Amino acid sequence: MMTHLRTVLQFFLAATFLFSAYTKAIAPGFFEILLEQQGLVPNRFYGAWATRAIIALEIWLGLGLLLPYYSRFLLRFSFWLLVVFSLHLGYLAVLGDTSNCGCLGEMISMTPLASLGKNAVLLAVNGFLLRYKYKFGKKSWLTWALLPALFAAAVFVWPIQTEPDEVVSKLPAFENNSEIDFTTGNYLVAVLNLSCEHCQEAAQELAELQRDGAALPQIVALFFEEGDTTVAEFKSITNSDYPHQMIDVNTFFDLIGSAPPRVYWVKNGKMMQFWDTEIAEGIQTTFAP
């Protein structure tokens, strides 16, 4: 009976690590930005490396616990890793943070306090597996070889961008407007979250520049729908009406910096400039007669 319980708990712990890695892997950009916002990395570039390291680490722990020759070290390592994560979550909870902590990516939104409860369960399971000894396999070179291999695979699958050089290739085609062609035209491309107040403010300011007669390239919008705000409501709030295309979560996080909005100047298939802050002022200065 005890053997069966240990096996079930072992598989539960392994599956949890694998699922956690999966939720980060399907939208790595979200976790990159979250690490920066929580002050764990200085900028998104370091966040990108850290995200891939965490994904590889969680996959390694999950697979290691499923393999027949894992060592007690894996359980000890996972236990202290959970302790470190829990200390950080506790710090966020004390600060009163109630936003998504990112432990399960964007798929399952959890507050730091809720995630702390989840970790308490995992620590209890992990502690049980360490406490009730049973035969462990010897340390295997394959177990250790998996970790750098998984990290290399993570970087290969999700290449890290150091510069926004590939912006044009990531811009989606406008399905309902064949006249918009980023390879030949001159555009200001606004990447906006419909529910983001900063995005709404930027869209409103751009619309005001247009109404004031500023000589701007054609403005188009790429909308990401995260909350309850619809496109019609966004246009009403901002008093704007740009040609738009909806984008998915990965495209959105690929195209923004540390936080939305971001506006690109794209001319004849080349990214000329972009703005993350003081967008209206920067654009007005750039295109001043």
283 pLDDT tier (thresholds 50, 70, 90): very high
Q: Are 84 and 71 in contact (CB under 8 A)?
A: no
Of 122-131, 152-161, 180-189, the range with the lowest mean pLDDT is 152-161
Distance in angstroms (rounded) separating the CA atoms of residues 138 and 184: 61
User: Which of the listed residues 157, 178, 206 is the one where a domain comes to its end?
Assistant: 157
Examine the domain organization and report whether 56 and 192 are in the same domain: no
pLDDT tens digits for range 96-120: 988 888 899 888 889 999 999 999 9
Q: Which domain holds residue 232?
A: 164-286
Examine the domain organization and report whether 272 and 152 are in the same domain: no
**Who wins on pLDDT, 127 or 140?**
127
Examine the domain organization and report whether 7 and 149 are in the same domain: yes
User: Which of the listed residues 157, 188, 214 is the one where a domain comes to its end?
Assistant: 157
Examine the domain organization and report whether 145 and 202 are in the same domain: no
User: Which of the listed residues 112, 135, 157 is the one where a domain comes to its end?
Assistant: 157
Distance in angstroms (rounded) separating the CA atoms of residues 115 and 100: 9
Element (H, E) at 202: helix 197-211
Q: Quick check: 73 pLDDT over 90?
A: no
Distance in angstroms (rounded) separating the CA atoms of residues 79 and 125: 9
Examine the domain organization and report whether 29 and 106 are in the same domain: yes
How many domains is the chain partitioned into structurally? 2
pLDDT of amino acid 142: 67
Examine the domain organization and report whether 178 and 153 are in the same domain: no
* Best CA proximity match to 247, nearest among 191, 208, 188, 163: 191
Q: What is the CATH number of the domain that holds 224?
A: 3.40.30.10
Examine the domain organization and report whether 94 and 52 are in the same domain: yes
Residue that the structure tokens 């998915």 belong to: 248
